[in-house]
């Protein structure tokens, strides 16, 4: 089947979760987790079954998605790395393609530029925009207790009427829905590009009762555990860093945490449904490409660890579902990543025509040909991790059925993902796979200069620690985003005709 061009300049809505692994959605086959709205999108669109984050940590994952560039090219090392204002983003390119652009919710921008090409930010971010969360590779074994994850979140998992995360997502969802209503009733005929980015199901695993009540404790599946002796070195570092080795967790705590995660996944799914219904109610659904994605996954106890920071599947894989004009129905097995979203959006925005002039070389490829029913797709992607729980860069190559993971301090890892989806059998030292292991090792050496990258990371960390110390001294000047609210022109004001204001706002 040939490639089908999208309708000219369709709207684009990206709905983003935080820490949602596809393995824990009904859309990707989990027998318990209820995600009817993502399911519905997948049924009328395309589901990518091997989509990865480029870097399994919040800010680096998002910066690489926004820029279409590897983290080592844009110095997006960790959750306190500045996202430079000089880096062109998908928001810049969509604006150059004739779109009005807006962001509602989290994007974990660090630094004084809190827009990065968006015309509007509808909310503030949920996390700080400064350098407070800078790791220290020169003292990599020291745990930063103030902001490292630990087992407290398993102990505290459960139900609540509200939390700061629920407060945030209610604001994000309301603002996104209001924005969709506003663009439907204004006179601007440009297409819109909106990202609605929620914090759930990110830990802590605390859910409102109506979502918690969707699941029975007795039905919650327990994680596939490994003993410390069976863990690879990086998994051991994560195991230690999150205090799973010292504090541990019980089966009941694991079940409770997963219960909360499943509940909050259904909560996120409900927001997907609300925004899609809003598109339908406002007559915009047929000309809007809707995408659902996450920044990274959550190990949820697999291998004995939780959260992310790992290139193992439940941490590094992300859901990616697209539906809308020109998108065919089906699924795609070929590996892809966040790096591919920017070129895909450019193909959507330009109907496969002339892109705006690129301000930087892109590291991804467009997925549009596959999404629109084209032929076989390249089956490879790459990853880089330079955050906490390590002292040296980590690299991942996923190609065909193989995944290869390298870190200078660790033995290499090679997995056959077709035969061993849980990644339990390291084939790197198996004679039957020696040629593949040697080839991947040589490619790592050719593709990355690990020593140089480590030097750049350490230098960046030193500088940011100094800057954070200075910025912490009074008076405090915050980079945190303050949403603009033009109250002088909202609702009914003296410079408006009361009757005209009513008719103008009615949809």
**Would you name the residues annotated as active-site residues?**
58, 108
Using alpha carbons, select from 309, 311, 316, 19 the residue that is nearest to residue 140. 309
Angle at 270 between CA 265 and CA 274, to 5 degrees: 150
Main-chain dihedrals φ then ψ at residue 383, nearest 5 degrees = -140, 155
Using alpha carbons, select from 139, 76, 90, 11 the residue that is nearest to residue 355. 90
Angle at 27 between CA 21 and CA 28, to 5 degrees: 55
Main-chain dihedrals φ then ψ at residue 238, nearest 5 degrees = -65, -45
Q: Is 160 exposed, middle or buried (0-12, 13-18, 19+ CB in 10 A)?
A: middle
Helical H segments across 70-163, by residue range: 71-74, 90-96, 152-155
**Which residues, including other chains, have CB under 8 Å from residue 152's CB and lie 6 or more apart?**
none
- DSSP secondary-structure letter at 231? S
* Antiparallel, parallel or unpaired: β 100-105 and 120-121: parallel
Contact 47, 326 (CB under 8 A): no
Other Cβ atoms closer than 10 A to 473: 7
Rounded-to-integer distance, Cα 476 and Cα 110, Å: 16
């Amino acid at each position: 089947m040939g490639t089908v061009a999208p309708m000219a300049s369709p709207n684009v809505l990206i709905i983003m979760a935080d820490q949602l692994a596809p393995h824990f959605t009904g859309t990707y086959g989990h027998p318990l987790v209820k995600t009817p709205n993502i399911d519905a999108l997948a049924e009328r669109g395309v589901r990518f079954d091997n989509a990865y984050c480029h870097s399994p940590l919040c800010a680096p994952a998002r910066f690489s998605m926004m820029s279409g560039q590897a983290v080592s090219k844009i110095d997006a090392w960790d959750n306190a790395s500045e996202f430079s204002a000089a880096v062109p983003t998908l928001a810049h390119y969509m604006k150059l393609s004739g779109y009005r652009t807006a962001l509602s919710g989290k994007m974990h921008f660090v630094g004084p530029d809190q827009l990065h090409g968006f015309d509007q930010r509808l909310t503030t971010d949920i996390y700080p925009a400064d350098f407070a969360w800078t790791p220290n590779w020169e003292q990599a074994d020291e745990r930063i207790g103030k902001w490292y994850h630990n087992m407290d979140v398993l102990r505290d998992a459960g139900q609540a009427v509200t939390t700061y995360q629920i407060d945030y997502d209610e604001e994000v969802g309301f603002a996104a829905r209001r924005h969709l209503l506003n663009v439907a009733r204004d006179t601007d005929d440009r297409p819109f590009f909106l990202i609605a980015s929620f914090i759930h199901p990110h830990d802590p695993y605390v859910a409102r009762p109506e979502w918690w009540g969707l699941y029975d404790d007795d039905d919650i599946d327990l994680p596939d555990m490994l003993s410390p002796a069976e863990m690879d070195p990086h998994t051991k570092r994560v195991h230690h860093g999150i205090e799973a080795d010292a504090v541990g967790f019980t089966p009941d705590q694991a079940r409770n945490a997963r219960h909360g995660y499943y509940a909050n996944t259904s909560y996120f799914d409900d927001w997907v449904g609300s925004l899609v219904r809003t598109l339908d109610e406002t007559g915009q659904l047929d000309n809007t490409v809707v995408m659902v994605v996450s920044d990274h996954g959550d190990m949820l106890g697999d291998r004995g660890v939780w959260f992310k920071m790992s290139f193992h599947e439940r941490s590094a894989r992300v859901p990616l579902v697209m539906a809308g004009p020109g998108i065919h129905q089906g699924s795609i097995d070929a590996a892809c990543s966040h790096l591919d979203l920017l070129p895909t959006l450019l193909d959507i925005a330009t109907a496969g025509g002339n892109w705006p002039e690129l301000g930087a070389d892109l590291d991804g490829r467009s997925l549009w040909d596959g999404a629109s029913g084209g032929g076989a797709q390249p089956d490879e992607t790459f990853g880089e991790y330079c955050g906490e729980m390590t002292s040296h860069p980590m690299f991942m190559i996923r190609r065909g059925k193989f995944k290869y993971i390298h870190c200078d301090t660790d033995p290499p890892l090679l997995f056959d993902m077709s035969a061993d989806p849980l990644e339990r059998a390291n084939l790197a030292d198996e004679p039957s796979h020696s040629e593949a292991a040697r080839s991947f090792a040589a490619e790592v050496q050719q593709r990355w200069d690990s020593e140089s990258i480590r030097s750049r990371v350490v230098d960046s960390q030193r500088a940011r620690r100094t800057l954070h110390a200075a910025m912490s001294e009074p008076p405090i000047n915050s980079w945190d985003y303050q949403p603009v609210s033009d109250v002088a022109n909202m609702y009914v004001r003296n410079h408006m005709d009361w009757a005209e204001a009513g008719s103008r706002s009615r949809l």
